[in-house]
């Protein structure tokens, strides 16, 4: 009964158009005040202790690093390198976009940032080369999703904070699925280009490829710094985030010199705005999680599922459907922070690996990025390509189907995600 009241309160507030973060906080305050004896002072205490986690510091640093790299000329050099490798195949610029998104994903941690960085350069270039604008926008919006699957990933940090999972193990678990999905998206891109007879680029010589790699090496080295540092134990994921922000600043301002010192305060302010928004959602979501635990909601749901004989396969299917539906209406951070505290204890009771579960949730969030009406990647790509939302929705469908097939593989074949962290001794 209490669970029903809580969720009805939350749904009612969100239907009014209230921001998710405020809806969560108000739900907690209203319920505690009206239906329990819990002193309201404990809410203030929980707000502070909830966000007092070292891991949360990774979020603002990864956002800052992504902003420095987006404005600092790293993206255009990575695109040049990616296109030199695969541009000579059918739909070469489209394939280059997928490779560039995968490379940029490995340094930014954010999907919309990846779409902005790669799309603002490649979508106009593809239209100029004779590709349909729908094709270009569809490829970039879909491949931009790799930003939250290939580590580092802000969404994975959110999941880890919500469930007390290992950020390092989650990051490593995202590597193989990220590469597999990039391969599947490349195949879909090539197939569409082959069917449509889209142009291909001139085959780059090995000297040109080497030159493009040399120019983009400072950006590519960040991948080694972050992943190598975490795996070797030189620094924690949070320290890796801080390291990447400093590294990105030095590369953007002093090495490539594409970001002027006078523009740095603007970048810092944009990053602070984004970080404040996410941290505010996190604090309210931690409050909501505290309320659910206080009322034993996850335990009651898991007991009901077990009593009704719902096993692992049916549970994972139900979770995927729930997350895909929520992905249509909410952004990833909010979904994870609301659902993880409820679903995680049930998954543990059913014997599902927490790292595998985290990657599966991340893939769902990735699909949510390209489904209307709230798909962030659709909005960003729509802004660049000047296509309407309905046209963007049609533009992404071949890649959306590919991602749904990939979701089934990730969900029901755990070795794909947990093999690498196991081999590296992180699980």
pLDDT interval class at 290 (50, 70, 90) = confident
Identify the pLDDT of residue 285.
82
Question: What number is the average pLDDT over the span 174-201?
Answer: 95
Whether 37 shows a pLDDT value over 90: the answer reads no
C-alpha span between 141 and 159 (Å, rounded) = 23
Q: What is the 3-state secondary structure (H, E, C) of 244-290?
A: HHHHHHHHHHHHCCCCCHHHHHHHHHHHHHHHHHHHHHHHHHHHHHH
Closest CA to 302 of 357, 355, 353, 341: 341
Helix (H, G, I), strand (E, B) or coil at 369: coil
Region 372-377: what's the mean pLDDT? Answer: 85
**Confidence band, pLDDT 50/70/90 cuts, at residue 108:** confident
Q: What's the confidence (pLDDT) of residue 308?
A: 81
Which two three-digit tokens encode residue 318?
């139900």
The mean predicted confidence, pLDDT, of the chain is 91
Instruction: Quickly state the pLDDT bin for 410 (edges 50, 70, 90).
Output: very high
Contact in structure between 159 and 336 (CB atoms under 8 Å): yes
Whole-number pLDDT of residue 375: 87
* 50, pLDDT greater than 80: no
Instruction: Indicate the pLDDT class of residue 69, thresholds 50, 70 and 90.
Output: confident
Q: Is it the case that residue 232 has pLDDT exceeding 90? A: no
pLDDT band at 421 (very low <50, low <70, confident <90, very high): very high
**264-272 contacts: CB < 8 A, separation 24 or more?**
267/64, 267/67, 267/68, 267/71, 268/64, 270/67, 271/60, 271/63, 271/64, 271/67, 272/60
Closest CA to 74 of 194, 244, 205: 244
What is the model's pLDDT at position 7?
Answer: 87
Q: Concatenate the DSSP letters of all residues of 62-114 into one string.
A: HHHHHHHHHHTTHHHHHHHHHHHHHTTSTTHHHHHHHHHHHHHHHHH--HHHH
pLDDT computed for residue 306 by the predictor:
78
Q: Please give the average per-residue pLDDT across 409-421, as a whole number.
A: 96
Per residue in 316-351, pLDDT (tens digit) is 999 999 999 988 888 888 889 888 888 998 899 889
Helix axes 354-368, 154-163, angle to 10 degrees: 140
**In degrees rounded to 5, what are phi and psi of residue 256?**
-80, -25
Task: Write down the pLDDT at residue 195.
Answer: 94
**Nearest residue to 146 via CA among 403, 333, 417:** 403
How many whole angstroms separate alpha carbon 416 and alpha carbon 406? 11
Q: With pLDDT > 90 as the criterion, what percentage of the chain qualifies?
A: 61
Q: How many CB atoms lie within 10 A of CB 197?
A: 8
CA dist 202 and 162 (Å) reads: 48
> Nearest to residue 137, comparing CAs of 125, 153, 147, 151?
125
* DSSP letter (8 states) at residue 414: T
d(CA 280, CA 266): 21
What average pLDDT does this structure show over 44-67? 86
Query: Are the beta carbons of 162 and 292 closer than 8 angstroms?
Result: no
Band (409; pLDDT cuts 50, 70, 90): very high
Read off the pLDDT band of 427 (50, 70, 90): confident
Q: How much is the average pLDDT of 175-184?
A: 97
Would you state the pLDDT for residue 217? 94
């Amino acid at each position: 009964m209490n669970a029903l009241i809580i969720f009805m309160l939350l749904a009612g507030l969100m239907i009014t158009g209230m921001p998710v973060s405020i809806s969560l906080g108000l739900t907690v305050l209203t319920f505690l005040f009206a239906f329990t004896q819990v002193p309201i002072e404990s809410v203030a205490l929980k707000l502070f202790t909830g966000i007092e986690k070292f891991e949360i510091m990774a979020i603002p640093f990864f956002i800052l690093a992504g902003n420095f790299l987006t404005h600092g000329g790293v993206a255009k050099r990575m695109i040049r390198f990616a296109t030199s490798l695969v541009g000579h195949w059918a739909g070469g610029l489209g394939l280059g976009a997928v490779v560039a998104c995968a490379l940029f994903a490995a340094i930014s941690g954010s999907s919309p940032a990846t779409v902005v960085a790669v799309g603002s350069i490649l979508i106009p270039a593809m239209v100029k080369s004779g590709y349909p604008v729908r094709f270009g926008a569809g490829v970039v919006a879909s491949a931009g999703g790799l930003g939250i699957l290939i580590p580092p990933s802000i969404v994975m940090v959110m999941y880890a904070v919500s469930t007390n999972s290992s950020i390092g193990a989650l990051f490593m678990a995202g590597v193989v699925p990220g590469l597999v999905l990039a391969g599947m998206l490349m195949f879909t891109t090539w197939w569409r280009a082959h069917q449509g007879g889209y142009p291909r680029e001139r085959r780059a010589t090995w000297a040109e490829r080497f030159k493009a790699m040399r120019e983009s090496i400072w950006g590519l080295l960040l991948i080694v710094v972050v992943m190598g540092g975490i795996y070797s134990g030189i620094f924690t994921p949070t320290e890796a985030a801080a390291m990447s922000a400093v590294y990105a600043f030095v590369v953007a301002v002093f090495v490539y010199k594409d970001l002027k010192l006078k523009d740095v305060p603007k970048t810092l302010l944009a990053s602070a705005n984004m970080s404040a928004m996410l941290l505010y959602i996190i604090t309210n979501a931690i409050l909501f999680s505290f309320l659910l635990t206080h009322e034993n909601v996850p335990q009651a749901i898991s007991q009901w599922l077990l009593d009704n004989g719902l096993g692992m396969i049916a549970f994972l299917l139900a979770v995927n459907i729930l997350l895909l539906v929520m992905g249509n209406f909410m952004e990833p951070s909010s979904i994870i922070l609301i659902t993880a505290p409820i679903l995680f204890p049930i998954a543990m009771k059913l014997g599902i690996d927490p790292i595998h579960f985290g990657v599966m949730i991340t893939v769902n969030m990735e699909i949510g990025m390209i489904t209307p009406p709230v798909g962030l990647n659709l909005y960003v790509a729509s802004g660049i390509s000047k296509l309407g939302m309905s046209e963007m929705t049609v533009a992404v469908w071949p890649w959306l189907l590919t991602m749904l097939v990939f979701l089934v593989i990730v969900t029901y074949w755990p070795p794909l995600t947990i093999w690498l962290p196991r081999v590296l001794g992180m699980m």
